[in-house]
Amino acid sequence: MTDIQRFSNWFFNLSTALGETTVEVKPEHLREFCLALRDEPDCAFKQLSDVCGVDYLQYGVDDWQTESATGTGFSRGVTVEPIGVNPGEKNRFAVVYHLLSLTHNQRLRLRVSFPENAALIVDSVIDIWPAANWYEREVFDLFGIIFKGHPDLRRLMTDYGFIGHPFRKDFPLIGTVEARYDAALGRVIYEPVSIVPRVLEPKVIRYGN
């Protein structure tokens, strides 16, 4: 990995887990850091592979363990060390960028966290990597994070009149409204959701032994 410690004034922390490097970027330095990573020859991160939002609400609290139940049945991966997240994480929301340098065959993960009660606003990188266009719209739609400078920041996955952000962990799994076609009115109408809330729990069914 190219030495990015020379940009240390632009980030809080650099860590490596499972062979991947994660850099905690200061929000106010995101754009200049991204420009340097793209343009400097010893970096050459020309490709943006992904932009995603993260909600760390109850992070590491609600995973279930199934080792005692079965070795091959219903299971969920639980790692001892959080990947790219500091233990005791207090910032709820973050934006994560995955970069690729084809020149140096290297990958890099950038993470911008939002302090408690801070506005969920971060600079757009669409003019640095045009591929960020729909990624940023998706994060805006599903998490409610605003990308300042994006030329067309509209919802991408949900309906035009949708209220709320479905990937926030406090958003109800059944949603808040449901749509149906009303033949009498000749249009689609929205009504309060009629599904009964229920808790989904893992189940292991054994036959025989």
pLDDT tier for residue 82 given thresholds of 50, 70 and 90: very low
CA angle 162, 164, 170 (to 5 degrees): 145
pLDDT tens digits, one per residue of 87-125? 445 689 999 999 999 999 999 999 999 988 889 999 999
Q: Is 138 helix (H, G, I), strand (E, B) or coil?
A: helix
Sequence-distant (6+) residues with CB within 8 A of 150 are 124, 126, 133, 136, 137, 140
Please identify which residue in the block is written with the tokens 């922390």.
Answer: 13
> Which carries the bigger pLDDT value, residue 201 or residue 5?
5
8 A C-beta contact, residue 53 and residue 139: yes
Stretch 125-140: mean pLDDT, rounded? 97
Q: If DSSP states are collapsed to H, E and C, what string results for 25-87?
A: ECHHHHHHHHHHHHHCCCCCCCEEEEEEEEECCCCCCCCCCCCCCCCCCCCCCCCCCCCCCCC
Report the chain's terminal Cα–Cα distance, integer Å.
51
Q: What is the pLDDT of residue 172?
A: 85
Identify the pLDDT of residue 152.
94
Kindly state the average pLDDT of the residues 2-11.
78
- pTM of the predicted model as reported, rounded to 2 decimal places: 0.77
The answer to whether 177 and 190 have CB atoms below 8 angstroms apart is yes
pLDDT of residue 87: 43
pLDDT the model gives residue 14: 85
Q: Give the pLDDT of residue 207.
A: 65
Domains of the chain: 5-156 (3.30.460.80)
